[in-house]
Amino acid sequence: MHLETSYEFEFDNFHLGPVLEFAYDPEDIHISLGLHLGIGF
């Protein structure tokens, strides 16, 4: 199972915002919090 969510603020061709990820496997659990940076083209 893999879940990921983000919220973006748009500035012209850039989008920026927080991202939260959760992944589960019977052998591992992964949780991460980070910063999403995107460039539109």
Whole-prediction pTM: 0.69
What CA–CA distance (Å, rounded) separates 25 from 19?
A: 20
Q: Give residue 41's pLDDT band: very low, low, confident or very high (50, 70, 90).
A: confident
Q: Which residue has better confidence, 28 or 40?
A: 28
What CA–CA distance (Å, rounded) separates 24 from 41?
A: 33
Average pLDDT rounded to a whole number, residues 3-29: 93
Q: Give residue 40's pLDDT band: very low, low, confident or very high (50, 70, 90).
A: confident
Q: Give residue 4's pLDDT band: very low, low, confident or very high (50, 70, 90).
A: very high
Average pLDDT rounded to a whole number, residues 16-23: 96
